[in-house]
Amino acid sequence: DSGVTQTPKHLITATGQRVTLRCSPRSGDLSVYWYQQSLDQGLQFLIHYYNGEERAKGNILERFSAQQFPDLHSELNLSSLELGDSALYFCASSVSTRGGGYTFGSGTRLTVV
């Protein structure tokens, strides 16, 4: 157990629907990062939150949004889902120093049918 909790582990939904992925960071970590891993692709950076504020955006679609709440958990909202959104979505947390890297959760596998 890495200390980063992602729910749900698996999600199957239809095109056009909206889903919410949840992440609880490791205790004491203020930063949350979201990544998407599609088939045969590396981890694509989506967005970074630090202590409730958005700090950086990557290749995140306009149909996707995220937020970090006062208790530091984060949610990634995906709407108007398309088949191509099927992927593994990882959340990672850190204390916002570079040393030691992030701690990743085990991911949410999203399948859009």
- Closest contact distance (angstroms) between CB of 51 and another protein is 13
- Give the burial string for 58-86 (b: 16+ CB within 10 Å, else e): eebeeebebebeeebebbbebeebeeebb
- Closest contact distance (angstroms) between CB of 15 and another protein is 26
What is the contact surface with another protein in residues (CB under 8 A)?
A: 2, 4, 31, 33, 35, 40-45, 48, 50, 55-56, 58, 90, 92, 94, 96-107
- Closest contact distance (angstroms) between CB of 89 and another protein is 11
Name the residue nearer to another protein (CB basis): 14 or 98. Answer: 98
Please say whether the beta carbons of 47 and 33 come within 8 A: yes
Tokens of 19: 């889903």
